[in-house]
Amino acid sequence: MTSAVTSALHDSALLKAARGEAVPHTPVWFMRQAGRSLPEYLKVREGIAMLDSCMDAELITEITLQPVRRYGVDAAIFFSDIVLPLKAIGVDLDIVPGVGPVVAKPVRTLEDVAAIPDLTPEALPFITAAVRSLTSELAGINGGTPLIGFAGAPFTVASYLVEGGPSKEHAKTKALMFGAPDVWEALMVKIADIAAVFLETQVAAGASAIQLFDSWAGALTPDDYVRHVQPHSARVLERVGSLGVPRIHFGVGTTNLLGLMGDAGADVVGVDWRTPLDRAIPMVGDRAVQGNLDPTLVFAPTEVMTARAAEVIEAGRAAKGHIFNLGHGVIPSTDPDQLARLTEFVQSYPLD
Ligand code: CP3
């Protein structure tokens, strides 16, 4: 990549906000912006299983670019899934439509953990190819649009591996954490290493920032988070930090954990829609924040949605930096035209 491209990306609103520098407008992107809310996504995915589409560099590139073309958002989020690296090393799992990731043989013992192979970049040729083609395409969009790479954080990925599928209470996961600390430690070390390699591969190929999704960390008390989870997330974030890209760290229902998730080594703390930014910002301290419009507000009249977006932007001004997002992923029945109007509103909102 030429240095002109690198410097345009460096000066993009997203990366400036992540570093806490002044921005021309509040940068905006949406978690799950690529996916089922877009007719063009449903069309290219027809007849192709989710995880197969995540292993096809051309499809990854097309799907990742779709929301950037449609909305002109300030970042692309890499199209993949938090369980993709496990699939790439041969863990028997699938993503079942309408359900989520389902693991054939849940992990319960030290032998189960030992049976999970380590991840190497060589297992991810389609990731490297997709990131390379994406970063070259994105360099020409809106003066240079950054690509955000991502991975699932150890606790959230462990939850799928231990439960065998999606779970509300994460009871088996927490039972393992409380009752078999040696198995838990081995599992978290293994998954943290997998997440770090997955992120390092994306950054090495050209991703400009990363997001570590600990979607289900809100199931933990602060003490348990500190004792059993934070050190593992911290190791992942530290490894990626040494590559010099900003690190966003997000979870759902994490009002009690925002400061601790920042301390795990985030440059930007993602805030879900339940915690108003004016409460969240003092908790994250000297870090940028990302969020946090309630994703159901897109179903309200446009002027109601934009009035609430304005409140989010105004509250975000107290932070070191602010990246606008929804407070969790785009709901599949969202009208894309409403997200187009929201993007336009955030990008043209005057900051002086
Ligand atoms: O646009 C983007 O944000 C990029 C792509 C992305 C996907 N999954 C694509 C996907 C990202 C960042 C993820 C992360 C992910 N996957 C998380 C963390 C974020 C969060 O939502 O909290 C989690 C928990 C998963 C696990 C997972 N994968 C779930 C719960 C589901 C939904 C299952 C369903 O059908 O309701 C998936 C599948 C999935 N991942 C889809 C997409 C676009 C839908 C599958 C499809 O289109 O067939």
- Check if 308 is active-site: no
Which of 28, 63, 95 to mutate to test ligand 1, by most ligand atoms within 8 A of the CB atom? 95
Instruction: Give the model's pLDDT for residue 65.
Output: 98
| Res. 145: pLDDT tops 70 | yes
Residue 81: CB within 6 Å of ligand 1?
A: yes
C-alpha distances in Å from residue 283, one per residue of 53, 62, 330:
39, 38, 26
Q: What is the pLDDT of residues 103-138, one digit of tens each?
A: 999 999 999 999 999 999 999 999 999 999 999 999
Residue 150: CB within 6 Å of ligand 1?
A: yes
Residue 94: CB within 6 Å of ligand 1?
A: no
Instruction: Give the model's pLDDT for residue 3.
Output: 65
Whether 188 contacts 232, CB under 8 Å: yes
**d(C-alpha 79, C-alpha 31), whole Å:** 11
Omega before 292 within 30 of 0, i.e. cis: yes
More confident residue, 79 or 1: 79
| Res. 153: pLDDT tops 80 | yes
Instruction: Give the model's pLDDT for residue 1.
Output: 53
- Check if 160 is active-site: yes
| Res. 347: pLDDT tops 60 | yes
Cα(153) to centroid of ligand 1, in Å?
14
Q: Atom 36, ligand 1: which residue's CA is nearest?
A: 98
Residue 253: CB within 6 Å of ligand 1?
A: no
From 41, 71, 160, 225, active-site residue: 160
Joined together, the tokens standing for residue 14 give: 């997203």
From 81, 94, 112, 193, active-site residue: 81
Tell me the mean pLDDT in the region 76-83.
98
| Res. 2: pLDDT tops 60 | no
Residue 329: CB within 6 Å of ligand 1?
A: yes
Domains and CATH numbers, the chain: 3-348 (3.20.20.210)
Q: Which atom of ligand 1 is nearest to the CA of 31?
A: 3
- Check if 45 is active-site: yes
> Following DSSP, what letter does each residue of 118-181 receive, concatenated?
PP-GGG-HHHHHHHHHHHHHHTTSTT--PEEEEEE-HHHHHHHHHHSS--SS-HHHHHHHHH-H
Whether 64 contacts 17, CB under 8 Å: no
